[in-house]
Structure 1
Amino acid sequence: MRRILIPLIFGLAGAAMLISLGVWQVQRLAWKEGVLTGIETRIAAEPVLMPENPNPDADQYLPVRITGMLGQPPLRVLVSRKQIGAGYRLITTLSTDKRTILVDLGFIKVDQPIPAFTDAPVTVTGNLNWPDDRNSSTPENDVAGNIWFARDVDEMAGMLGAEPVLLVVRNTSETDPVATPLPVDTAAIPNDHLSYAITWFSLAAIWLVMTGYFLWRTTRKPKDDET
């Protein structure tokens, strides 16, 4: 009995720890799904007027409607769309009598010429966004060649003489928009808690099987020695 007591305690303690990690990931999954639901609800809400001083924390994803004049030439951010291929997001300015902000008009194919913007006022509906496109593997922007690899709002605002505020277009009043809108959504927000939970529970099951096998071998050993 003493021979199996310590391995049994060790095996059960290890399994309990792995199971607790799996349960924690399930709890995190419920929390993250609640966060994503809240963001999706905010994105789809009725648009409001542009805040006087938009805040990256308080106004992230805020739906906004604004009318102004589009500026040009736009900045091009290299992106890729499934089943379509490489292309650019077009980032330009929208100016009213009081202010100038950045607008993300959406997607054009990489070989498509940038169309001319209308010289009439345009009403744009979309969501405020301070995107976090850059990571450790993102190249530096080719500013001279007008090929950007991340929507660096502050840098773009400085280039175009606008406020560091980006409105990602959902739709416009134009009958023939210059680009296909890529509205804000939650697809880019990671939610891997389910896969993590499955991993921990699987490891717990393997740990228990290996513990059981070890205990079985331990209790079988005296009989094997007799033969």
Structure 2
Amino acid sequence: MKKFLAPLLIGVIGCAILLSLGVWQVKRLAWKETMLSRIEQQIVGDPVPLFAGPLEEYQAVEATGTITGEEAHVLTAVKNIGAVFRIVSVFETEGRRILLDRGYVPETEKTADRPPVEDVRIIGNFRTVQESDRFTPEPDRDTNFWFARDVPKLAEALDAEPILVVLRESDEQDPPVTPWPVGTEGIPNDHLNYAITWFMMAAAWAGMTGLWLWRINRRTD
């Protein structure tokens, strides 16, 4: 029996580790699905007045004010469309200036004229976005060319408060910008695939352990 002890021990420990990783990913999957469900409820929930109190990420808000025409152009991409520019505008309401992500326009309409819009009601979602990191190029402010949404930097450039609302709908007539509402599509949820991978590795480990034991047994027969 001693000849089987080391392979068996290695097999049991390896399978236990791989199975525990699979179970952990299943638990992470349940956590992620609960989180996504909560976010989806916040996104489509009844909007609250923008300055009614502290806001949570993705919370639906509403306000009435003026889209001033001051804006930043953020290069990004839309699936099945390609490269576009997000239009982040200044929105004045209740004597305050915030950032409004109006949506996107094609590259050819980056510099198109988008005049101010007064007395417009908006419904959107509050976001604290900082997409830039140390690898993101600095914006070219001379040509108004940004490579990521970074609320603090955008607010500084547009002389607004670092509050971003991503537009969902408005009563603007014939808007020149296509809204790009907040969704959960961009939030990764690969935990099921990870769990399956770990469980398959555990099965393979168990199979290899069985083969190892079989070969040891054959050599000693």
* TM-score with structure 1 setting the length: 0.91
Residue 199 of structure 2 corresponds to 201
Conserved 8 A contact 2:91-2:97: yes
- C-alpha deviations, 1:16-43, integer Å up to 9, x for none? 1110110011011001100110010011
Residue 175 of structure 2 corresponds to 177
- Structure number with the higher strand fraction is 2
The alpha-carbon distance between structure 1 residues 118 and 140, as it changes in their structure 2 partners (threshold 3 A), is closer
Conserved 8 A contact 1:75-1:91: yes
Residue 134 of structure 1 corresponds to 132
Question: What is the deviation of 1:190?
Answer: 1.8
Q: Secondary structure at the match of 2:197?
A: helix
Q: Secondary structure at the match of 2:39?
A: helix
Looking at structure 2, the residues matched to 205 and 217 of structure 1 have their Cα atoms a distance apart, in angstroms, of 18
Residue 37 of structure 1 corresponds to 37
Q: Secondary structure at the match of 1:111?
A: helix
The alignment status of 1:91 with 2:85, answered yes or no, reads no
Looking at structure 2, the residues matched to 52 and 161 of structure 1 have their Cα atoms a distance apart, in angstroms, of 22
Spell out structure 1 runs of 4+ moving beyond 4 A.
none
Looking at structure 2, the residues matched to 159 and 105 of structure 1 have their Cα atoms a distance apart, in angstroms, of 17
Residue 77 of structure 1 corresponds to 74
Conserved 8 A contact 1:117-1:178: no
The alpha-carbon distance between structure 1 residues 181 and 212, as it changes in their structure 2 partners (threshold 3 A), is same
- 1:25-174 map, 5 Å: 25-51=25-51, 54=54, 58-112=55-109, 113-174=111-172
Question: What is the deviation of 1:114?
Answer: 2.6
Q: Secondary structure at the match of 1:9?
A: helix
Residue 11 of structure 1 corresponds to 11
Q: Which runs of 5+ in 2 are unaligned?
A: none
- C-alpha deviations, 1:46-90, integer Å up to 9, x for none? 111012564xxx521111111111112310000111111111000
* TM-score with structure 2 setting the length: 0.94
Looking at structure 1, the residues matched to 167 and 36 of structure 2 have their Cα atoms a distance apart, in angstroms, of 20
Question: What is the deviation of 1:177?
Answer: 1.0
| RMSD value, Cα | 1.6
Q: Which runs of 5+ in 1 are unaligned?
A: none
Conserved 8 A contact 1:91-1:104: yes
Q: Secondary structure at the match of 1:107?
A: strand
Looking at structure 2, the residues matched to 25 and 119 of structure 1 have their Cα atoms a distance apart, in angstroms, of 48
Question: What is the deviation of 1:142?
Answer: 2.0
Residue 191 of structure 1 corresponds to 189
Looking at structure 2, the residues matched to 119 and 132 of structure 1 have their Cα atoms a distance apart, in angstroms, of 27
